[in-house]
Chains A and B, each alone.
Chain A
Amino acid sequence: MYAFTYERPKNVDEAVKLLKKAKDGKILAGGQTLLPAMKLRLASPDTIVDLSRVKGLSGIKASSKAVTIGALTKHIEVMGSAEVQKSIPALAHLASLIGDPAVRNRGTIGGSLANNDPSADYPAAALGLGATIKTNKRELPADKFFKGLFETALAGDEIIESVSFPVPEKAGYEKFPNPASRFALVGVFVSKSKDGVRVAVTGAGEGGVFRVKEMETALAKDFSAKAIEGIKVPAKNMIADIHGTAEYRAHLIGVMARRAVAAAK
């Protein structure tokens, strides 16, 4: 790790000021992504702005329309929340599949979304439910938030405050874990609500999380696994590595999508 200045602001405004002042400032949430990168000397921020003392960024609020989760809310809290389990069980299920207990006890939803790892789980839920990401500056729909590998619409001094997930009629998430990292080799989130059907895929796309429109159209007509049986996702633009070829990932999207639809609650 390189030397850096450590800051622990009390509120969002102060955090933004510190970020603006820094040459290469970074927000620290659960540290599960940022700290390993710093230890490996792959990231070298000059200033770390630790959000842990900022009030109001953590916690879960549920209404009949939406579940709103504070950016600093840990995976373990989403997984264990009775409200999430009741309103969007697929979301609680997804959180339970992230990493291991140590990671779930530190990692946060805001950190996961801001990081936008192409194999992370939460981006699939955000896109698959049509979530709204609220920052200190604006509200961004998930469709406009994810911009590619590890890239989002966030500005350097923009802080995610909360994420709002509309409550669907039904939703399901199926993840096929990478045997080594246990991130998603392919993860598919499906949801059905009065605004329509969404199918979001993580782990497979070279450009990060994406929607499968063809499946959405078919499922809008008939929300059943059978309805998408014949749909083949092309292997083009799929990630290929030692853990799976592009063809294999494309194939798994179909399998996981059908299983997610069948499991949707």
Chain B
Amino acid sequence: MSATGIGAAVRRKEDQRFITGTANYTSDISRPGEVRAWFVRSPHAHATIKKIDTKAAEKMPGVVAVLTGADLANDKIGGLICGWAITSKDGSPMKMGAHPAIAADKVRCVGDQVAVVLAETLNQARDAAEKVKVDYAVLPSVVDPAKATAKGAPQIHDVAPNNQIYDWHIGDKNATDAAFASAKHVTKLEIVNNRLVPNAIEPRAAIAEYDQGNDALTLWNTSQNPHVARLVISAFIGMAPEHKLRVIAPDVGGGFGSKIFIYPEEVVALWAARRVKRPVKWVSDRSEAFLTDAHGRDHVTHAELALDADGKITGLRVRTIANLGAYMSTFSSSVPTYLYATLLSGQYAIPNIYAEVEAVYTNTAPVDAYRGAGRPEATFVVERLVEVAARELGIDPAELRRKNFVKSFPHQTPVIMAYDAGDYDASLTKAMEMVDYRNFGKRKAESERKGKLRGIGFSTYIEACGIAPSQAVGSLGAGVGLWESAEVRVNPTGSVEILTGSHSHGQGHETTFAQLVSERLGVPIETVSVVHGDTDKVQFGMGTYGSRSGAVGMSAISKALDKIEDKAKKVAGYMMEASADDIEFKDGKFTVKGTDKSVGWGDVTLNAYVAHKFTGGQLEPGLKEGAFYDPTNFTFPAGCHIAEVEIDPETGKTTIANWVAVDDFGVIINPMIVEGQVHGGIAQGVGQALLEGASYNADGQLITGSFMDYAMPRAGDLPSFKVDTTMTKCPSNPLGIKGCGEAGAIASPAALINAITNAVGHENVPMPATPGTVWKAAQRAVMKKAAE
């Protein structure tokens, strides 16, 4: 292993600019003559718009324009769409309601945009926005997904009767029902997977500029996938032809999924910039971010597990209601279906699975993918069921898991996925050693002596990443292919530019991608730059989400590097008057096999461009190659997290005493970055389980609209994690990578709730397990003990 190659814990190249304040985020960018945009947003969760009076606002100082949904419709700007088609059980297509970028006749959630004010300064825009008079007729609203389809519930979109978007299913119902009918034991759980606000540190932003001379638009935005944004804004919203629209996502401060989607504000910025012929800048403030960023999770689930007399799982039956909010966000439909129910087999050989998912509209912010997207929800269902089943049957939870693990590969589950490689026992065993499981009883007794409750909980999770073979996702309804692209440009002096369709917004691609190049070409990583996030510079690419940039994005780079190597060998052949087949390339040196004749990397790259030695006109000058890579399967990262907690029964405060994570991510490029991803993921999962929860009141007002009420995890809430890995190579990509970006957030909520319920001896502890919630549960435990 070289000091900067695959497997080296290289410090992140990009951090210099991030930690010295010299990064370039969208809101750092200003364009000459720009105006600031501020949106007038609905204070009501559900209302018809009777009239909008913009006259007073237009007269305010500095105002350039006040635009409404009617103006947008007049200019024939299309609405936002969801790009993944889901078909209901009965064969009917999902019911997608219109989503105009500015509401025209009805608002469907608090924060829905009803007008935009453009002014010379932000403050002037805000002042004027307060003068826009909107006459609303308030309608009754519904925020609870479990109540959305009830008789008499307010109707949110006319196209979706009873607010039902789809009623979808997967698996074999009859076989599963039969398994339950003959089960020895059935474990049942009611689960609410709490709604989360993504809270990336950088709020969303957009700057749009219109070039009148070329009739072209440029958009700088906080996007995880600028090419997809361009495609959607062009093809579906009809803003401008694709070649007349440039989308640039510069440095982006975290996304966690929330910046995959196409949002109304960037559409409005583009349209408004062309209308007023001045650049338009919009920057979300934190309050707007809480209201308008697509939220995550929000499932209500009834789940059942069937077991035989030996503790073998014979069936799993799940019914989930998924809240998609007021509008269908870009990929919302896929999250509670193909990203969720297809993972319900967990790490287990379960012969029969049947899941039904009903997606509903409510008067809340749209819900879409958030770190893990569907897989945390699936893991929570499976890992809670297995843990509770073990408790009910009096079997050690590790033993019940072992008994049911998938042990031979490939393994076809009843819910589409074909697991390709893994060793689930290895990660479980290692994690149990690291947490010193054998002595848990001693530690529990010690806690009890201090008047504290102690509990331990497992989560042996699996996820599907990379998403995935384009043919497979296409057959499941995706409107796009999910491959990735790369171009490797070698300069005459030997430095290398990687143009990737992936996008880095915290993941460290500028380092890991350079490590791959350093490994393959033997060049120092300082001479490699990674170019991403600009549709004018980079070939079409699919962007970053679903832990795909290593497995898919780097595989594309690897493929392009193969071509570079081939070509460079030919160049070296001409230089040394040898056949390319006789050239060996190692550590940046080209040698004629069996001789001491060699040329270095820099000589070859220069020769590729001067082309002085290319006789016979066979070889093209230059050294630049591109590749598109489409995987042959999803990848299946898996592992085991164990959480150990101590609870103060008097206050209900949970302290995480121990956290062990053993993950199998396949081949690891940079262990330090991977560990960082695991830490961040666990922090987010702990956030979900202990602290976070978006809460709307019955009128659809977001109660948790700021950090004063929405509890984010802080360093002090977390222990020092013990993190390790096991390794089975991913067979479906050339690098053997599985992906690591979401695992922590997927595994951890179940581990933590399993530990808390173990401590309090009571299964009903909803997330977030706030002190007040845990106190109530702990009181029962204390009372039970007293009664004994």
A residues contacting B by CB (< 8 A) are: 1-3, 40-41, 176, 179-181, 185, 241-245, 248, 251-252, 255
Contacts and interface: CB of A to CB of B under 8 A. Distances in A.
Interface string B12-45: 0000000000000000000000000000000000
Contacts of A251: 775
A255 B651 contact: yes
27 contacts: A1-B123, A2-B127, A3-B123, A40-B287, A176-B653, A176-B771, A179-B691, A179-B770, A179-B771, A180-B691, A180-B704, A180-B707, A180-B711, A181-B708, A185-B771, A241-B703, A242-B693, A242-B704, A243-B709, A243-B772, A244-B771, A244-B772, A245-B772, A248-B652, A248-B772, A248-B775, A252-B651
B710 interface: yes
A252 B653 CA distance: 11
B126 interface: yes
> Which of A40, A179, A251, A252 has the most chain B CB within a 10 Å cutoff?
A179
A179 B707 CA distance: 10
Given A243-B709, A244-B772, A252-B651, 11 more contacts: A41-B126, A179-B690, A179-B771, A180-B712, A181-B708, A185-B771, A242-B704, A244-B770, A248-B652, A248-B776, A255-B650
B596 to A, nearest CB: 64
Task: Bin chain B's interface residue count.
Answer: 20 to 34
Contacts of A1: 123
B164 interface: no
B748 interface: no
A1 B693 CA distance: 29
Nearest to A248: B772
B766 to A, nearest CB: 12
Interface of B: 123, 126-127, 287, 650-653, 690-691, 693, 695, 703-704, 707-712, 770-772, 775-776
Q: Is the interface of B mostly helix, strand, loop or mixed?
A: loop
Contacts of B708: 180-181
Nearest to A3: B123
B651 A180 contact: no
A3 B652 CA distance: 46
A252 B779 CA distance: 13
Nearest to A245: B772
A228 to B, nearest CB: 14
B60 to A, nearest CB: 13
B781 to A, nearest CB: 15
Nearest to B712: A180
Contacts of B712: 180
A114 to B, nearest CB: 19
Given A252-B651, A255-B651, A181 B127 contact: no
Nearest to A240: B772
Given A1-B123, A244-B772, A248-B772, A179 B651 contact: no
A241 B695 CA distance: 11
B648 to A, nearest CB: 9
B287 A179 contact: no
Contact of A179 (B695, B703, B711): B711
A252 B770 CA distance: 14
A121 to B, nearest CB: 15
A255 B451 CA distance: 13
Contacts of A3: 123
